[in-house]
């Protein structure tokens, strides 16, 4: 019987996790090649008018009257366009802004930033990496004890996946983010 070196086994497991994306309670890696942006015709048929305007035309949904502002279920929020995981409910906080607010993305690499000079202001726009969806803006007025950032995100740019549905919808690799709610 041939016995594998423990270091080789560890290396192979790490390589596999890097290839498919992996999660632990403190570190997440999302594989961008696992997600794809549909073409514009398909997006127009898949998205509501508001979702299309927000994600593709940089619109902003009304504050306070949106799906996830006061949403408190445990799970993840994914890009409505590609399904790429963007935010965790563990990083969501109650903000008086009227939009869902998070202290950080699920993986720093899943978002990109642009300077937004619209409406007579200079703001930092947040877009999804794979879908190039307009998500919202990030501000430096979030909870100081959690890093001070507030990712102010349009609900119309997101789809929520509950903890119970992670495995069924292909996001089971993110279950370790929720150690107090999962069992071994």
Report the catalytic residues: 152
CA dihedral angle for residue 42, residue 102, residue 90, residue 143, rounded to 10 degrees: 180
DSSP calls for the chain: -----HHHHHHHHHHHHHHH-EE-SS-EE--GGG--PPPHHHHHHHS-HHHHHHHHH---PPSSSSTTTT---SEEEEETTT--EEEEGGGEE--TTSS-EESS-SSGGGEEEEEE-GGG--EEEEEETTT--EEEEEES-S-GGGTS-EEEE-GGGEEEEEGGGTTTTT-GGGGGG-TTT---
């Amino acid at each position: 019987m041939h016995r594998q070196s423990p270091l080789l086994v560890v290396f192979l497991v790490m390589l596999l996790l890097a290839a498919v994306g992996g999660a632990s309670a403190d570190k997440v890696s999302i594989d961008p090649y696992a997600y794809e942006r549909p073409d514009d015709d398909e997006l127009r048929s898949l998205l509501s008018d508001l979702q299309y305007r927000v994600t593709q035309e940089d619109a902003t949904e009304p504050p306070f009257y949106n799906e996830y502002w006061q949403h408190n279920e445990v799970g993840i929020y994914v890009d409505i366009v590609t399904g790429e995981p963007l935010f965790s409910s563990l990083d969501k906080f109650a903000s008086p802004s009227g939009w869902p607010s998070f202290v950080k993305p699920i993986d720093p690499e899943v978002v990109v930033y642009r300077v937004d000079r619209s409406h007579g202001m200079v703001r930092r726009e947040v877009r999804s990496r794979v879908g190039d969806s307009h998500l919202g803006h990030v501000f430096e007025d979030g909870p100081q004890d959690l890093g001070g950032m507030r990712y102010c995100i349009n609900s119309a740019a997101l789809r929520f996946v509950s903890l119970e549905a992670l495995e069924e919808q292909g996001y089971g690799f993110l279950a370790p983010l929720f150690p107090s709610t999962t069992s071994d």
